[in-house]
Chains A and B, each alone.
Chain A
Amino acid sequence: MAELAAPSGKSSLREWLTTSEPRSRAQARLGNAYRSWVAFSRNPLAMFGLFIVLVLIIVAIFADQLATHSPTVGGDLRTERLQPPSAAHWLGTDNQARDIYSRLVHGSRLTLMVVMLVTVIAMPVGLLIGTVSGYMGGWIDAVLMRITDIFLAFPRLILALAFVAALGPGIVNAIIAIAITSWPPYARIARAETLTIRNSDFVVAVRLQGASPFRIITRHIMPLCVPSVIIRVTLDMAGIILTAAGLGFLGLGAQPPTPEWGAMIASGRQFIIDYWWVATMPGIAIFVVSLGFNLLGDGLRDVLDPKAEK
């Protein structure tokens, strides 16, 4: 791989990446990624979104170091309850005399976990159902798409509510419920993509070589559907966070004393008139993080799928 070692210095690296005659597959791919990145980084709002998401990830990783107090054990209930923001408690304390800042920092882990787990569960399911449906066609397509339609027809939050009601409250069940209600749009998108490529020459060529439908779908069709599904997932992440927070607010998500942001708003609700910060601070956290994912999703869509928004 002599050509991979070629670049030295910053400008030649750029030239190597943007060359119109890449000498290897790796170079072409890196060049493409670089061009996408340049387009993406020209969008200040998208960069801001990326910044927020990166901060969320860093905070979640270093929560133990960043928190100043314990997220679950409060201070002295006689003197440290419902304190306004101060030097000792940056964002004030709640009714259990717990430091709100530390709770928010630890809550970022839950938020990130919910988003990642829902994605990890819902994306492959949607991808699989969509590609199989699109590639196989016929009655398989009809059955799978009807099932998808039924789940799409059901209001999402209500369905999640009913599932949590049946499974019992808790963060894991909330994640399962949100995942169950999240996959249908991904299946729709994957199917639409599959329909446009299922009859292209390279698929026919692979089929003539004797590849099984399983191999064609997983090796040749799925990878091509991934980008558009990823865009949709990123755009959905804010919705996932809001649904999880909503379930938490209703007492159906993470249970106390877990520092889940929605549940924190619920616990601050009864003090909202006199101690506004208890419910306001977690709301700001949810808002900023959802905003970050929304901006990131918009930016990704603009770069990877220029047709979608004019």
Chain B
Amino acid sequence: MTDAVNDTTPGERSRALLTFAVAAGRFLLMLAITLFGLLAVTFFIGRIVPVDPVLAVVGDRAPAHVYARVREEMGLDLPLWHQFAIYIGNVFRADFGNSILTSRPVVEDVVRYFPATLELATLGTLLGTIFGVPLGVAAAVKRGKFADHFVRVIGLVGYSAPIFWLGLLGLLVFYSKLGWVAGPGRLDVTYEYMLTPVTGMVLVDAALAGDWAVFRNAISHIALPSALLGYYSLAYISRMTRSFMLNELSQEYVTTARVKGLSETRIIWGHALRNAAVPLITVIALSYAHLLEGSVLTETVFAWPGLGRYITNSLQNADMNAVLGGTLVIGIVFVAVNTFSDLLYRLFDPRTR
């Protein structure tokens, strides 16, 4: 390791360091601008709400001076840029205001509901990756054959069927008719309060407590929604894997490996897939971010107490603080996952350095 460093002159090293610093600076600047944009969008949405927030507090029979005073207290008489500055300050102190519906600070609610969403999306992505990558590889290797058409059909159905509809059909068939899985919710009512939340993720908490009855029950509840999300992620991941693998398999190094007499298995899994793995990481991260978002509809169908359901519930009750807080949190997580995948890409692909 030191050899490599000693080979370079101090000038080259400092230049490399400078390039790195500039790249890192640009990266951080982009991130900051994107987050600033997120804040601007949520702020803007909060301002165009047709409901007058002052009237919502004082009621429509309040005398004019009370109205004016409350308006002043809420900071609504300040210029827009000033309000926006206050808003940014509040967000940085993790203060999204109180939820009207739960009468708790929105941040507390988010912390309470987010683990359920995270649990669902993580399991979904895991399932999607475990099944999606091999399917995509098979489709690329057996191009134009049955496996390829099969993967194509799976993908088309995944891209075309509304997820909430498939969820309802799934409940109808696997819960109501066949009785293979448990119904909506995270746990049966009997198990509901047996678990002390540690991480907020039922599966993890049950495993930590060693309570396997609860664990089995949780599995039976999460099986259907996570399989559904997993299916959507599979549709995307297998399609992308196929196209990356086709690209790799047409490269010359594959021919070289064949000429060298390597087994097809080693060429496919050891060489081609390893090279396709770098862009695949980005795809998987992207699909993860989309599942976090896409769980809004799934959570509604399965009465899953996650962030998506929190947002839709608040929406139906015109609870804007909760809606915007939840939206902002999902937006930030979305940006964070994308940024993370971008970093991984730079780390693993030497060409991007």
**A256 within 8 Å of B by Cβ?**
no
Which one, A272, A291, A310, contacts B171 given CB within 8 A? A272
Q: A166-B49, A246-B164, A286-B165 are in contact. Are A154 and B38 (CB under 8 A)?
A: yes
B168-180 vs A, CB cutoff 8 Å, 1 = contact: the mask equals 1101100010000
Q: Shortest Cβ distance from A299 into chain B, in angstroms?
A: 12
The reply to whether A290 and B45 form a contact with Cβ atoms under 8 Å apart is: no
Q: Shortest Cβ distance from A58 into chain B, in angstroms?
A: 20
- A310: chain B residues at CB < 8 Å are 243, 246-247, 250
Q: CA separation between A279 and B327, bound complex, in Å?
A: 29
Chain B contact-residue range equals 35 or more
Q: CA separation between A290 and B166, bound complex, in Å?
A: 14
**A295 within 8 Å of B by Cβ?**
yes
The reply to whether B296 and A161 form a contact with Cβ atoms under 8 Å apart is: yes
The reply to whether B315 and A165 form a contact with Cβ atoms under 8 Å apart is: yes
Q: A162-B42, A265-B162, A287-B165 are in contact. Are A250 and B297 (CB under 8 A)?
A: yes
The reply to whether B169 and A280 form a contact with Cβ atoms under 8 Å apart is: yes
Q: CA separation between A157 and B172, bound complex, in Å?
A: 26
The reply to whether A153 and B297 form a contact with Cβ atoms under 8 Å apart is: no
**B75 within 8 Å of A by Cβ?**
no
Name which of A18-26, A144-152, A199-207 contacts chain B.
A144-152
Q: CA separation between A21 and B216, bound complex, in Å?
A: 73
**B90 within 8 Å of A by Cβ?**
no
Q: A158-B331, A166-B46, A251-B316 are in contact. Are A279 and B168 (CB under 8 A)?
A: yes
Q: CA separation between A214 and B157, bound complex, in Å?
A: 43
Q: Shortest Cβ distance from B275 into chain A, in angstroms?
A: 16
**A138 within 8 Å of B by Cβ?**
no
**A51 within 8 Å of B by Cβ?**
no
Q: A162-B324, A165-B323 are in contact. Are A238 and B34 (CB under 8 A)?
A: no
The reply to whether A146 and B37 form a contact with Cβ atoms under 8 Å apart is: yes
Q: A165-B323, A279-B165 are in contact. Are A294 and B156 (CB under 8 A)?
A: yes
Count contacts between A and B, CB distance < 8 Å: 146
The reply to whether B300 and A162 form a contact with Cβ atoms under 8 Å apart is: no
**A159 within 8 Å of B by Cβ?**
yes
Residues of B277-309 at the interface with A, using a CB-CB cut-off of 8 Å, are: 289-290, 292-294, 296-297, 300-301
Residue of A nearest to B34 (CB): A153
The reply to whether B338 and A153 form a contact with Cβ atoms under 8 Å apart is: yes
Q: CA separation between A163 and B315, bound complex, in Å?
A: 11
Which one, B38, B176, B293, contacts A150 given CB within 8 A? B38
Q: CA separation between A279 and B165, bound complex, in Å?
A: 8
Q: A146-B37, A153-B331, A165-B320 are in contact. Are A250 and B165 (CB under 8 A)?
A: no
- B316: chain A residues at CB < 8 Å are 251
Which one, A162, A167, A168, contacts B323 given CB within 8 A? A162
**B107 within 8 Å of A by Cβ?**
no
Residue of B nearest to A274 (CB): B176
- A154: chain B residues at CB < 8 Å are 38, 41, 331, 334
- A290: chain B residues at CB < 8 Å are 159-162
Residues of A266-280 at the interface with B, using a CB-CB cut-off of 8 Å, are: 269, 272-273, 276, 279-280
Q: CA separation between A175 and B296, bound complex, in Å?
A: 19
- B301: chain A residues at CB < 8 Å are 269
The reply to whether B334 and A153 form a contact with Cβ atoms under 8 Å apart is: yes
- A273: chain B residues at CB < 8 Å are 172, 176
Q: CA separation between A272 and B184, bound complex, in Å?
A: 13
Q: Shortest Cβ distance from B42 into chain A, in angstroms?
A: 7
- A163: chain B residues at CB < 8 Å are 45
B17-35 vs A, CB cutoff 8 Å, 1 = contact: the mask equals 0000000000000100110
Q: Shortest Cβ distance from B254 into chain A, in angstroms?
A: 15
Q: CA separation between A310 and B148, bound complex, in Å?
A: 13
**B335 within 8 Å of A by Cβ?**
yes
Q: CA separation between A162 and B325, bound complex, in Å?
A: 10
**B135 within 8 Å of A by Cβ?**
no
The reply to whether B327 and A162 form a contact with Cβ atoms under 8 Å apart is: yes
- A252: chain B residues at CB < 8 Å are 315
**B48 within 8 Å of A by Cβ?**
yes
- B234: chain A residues at CB < 8 Å are none
The reply to whether A294 and B169 form a contact with Cβ atoms under 8 Å apart is: no
Residues of B138-196 at the interface with A, using a CB-CB cut-off of 8 Å, are: 156-157, 159-166, 168-169, 171-172, 176
Residue of A nearest to B297 (CB): A246
**A89 within 8 Å of B by Cβ?**
no
**B350 within 8 Å of A by Cβ?**
no
- A249: chain B residues at CB < 8 Å are 162, 164, 297, 300
**A84 within 8 Å of B by Cβ?**
no
- A165: chain B residues at CB < 8 Å are 45, 49, 315, 318, 320, 323
Residue of A nearest to B326 (CB): A158
**B267 within 8 Å of A by Cβ?**
no
Residue of B nearest to A279 (CB): B168
Q: Shortest Cβ distance from A264 into chain B, in angstroms?
A: 10
B332-343 vs A, CB cutoff 8 Å, 1 = contact: the mask equals 001100100000
**A198 within 8 Å of B by Cβ?**
no
Q: CA separation between A283 and B162, bound complex, in Å?
A: 7
Which one, B160, B176, B330, contacts A158 given CB within 8 A? B330
The reply to whether B243 and A294 form a contact with Cβ atoms under 8 Å apart is: no
Residue of B nearest to A276 (CB): B172
- B157: chain A residues at CB < 8 Å are 287, 291
* 29 A-B contact pairs sorted by A residue (CB < 8 Å): A146-B33, A147-B37, A149-B33, A150-B34, A150-B40, A153-B34, A153-B334, A153-B335, A158-B293, A158-B330, A161-B323, A162-B45, A162-B323, A162-B327, A165-B318, A166-B46, A166-B320, A167-B50, A246-B164, A246-B297, A249-B164, A250-B312, A269-B168, A272-B168, A272-B171, A287-B160, A290-B161, A294-B156, A294-B159
> Can you list the 5 inter-chain pairs with the closest CB atoms, starting with the nearest?
A150-B37, A283-B165, A155-B293, A290-B160, A291-B160
- Given known contacts A153-B37, A165-B323, A290-B161, what 8 new A-B pairs fall within 8 Å (CB)? A154-B41, A155-B290, A161-B323, A168-B50, A238-B159, A242-B160, A269-B301, A290-B159
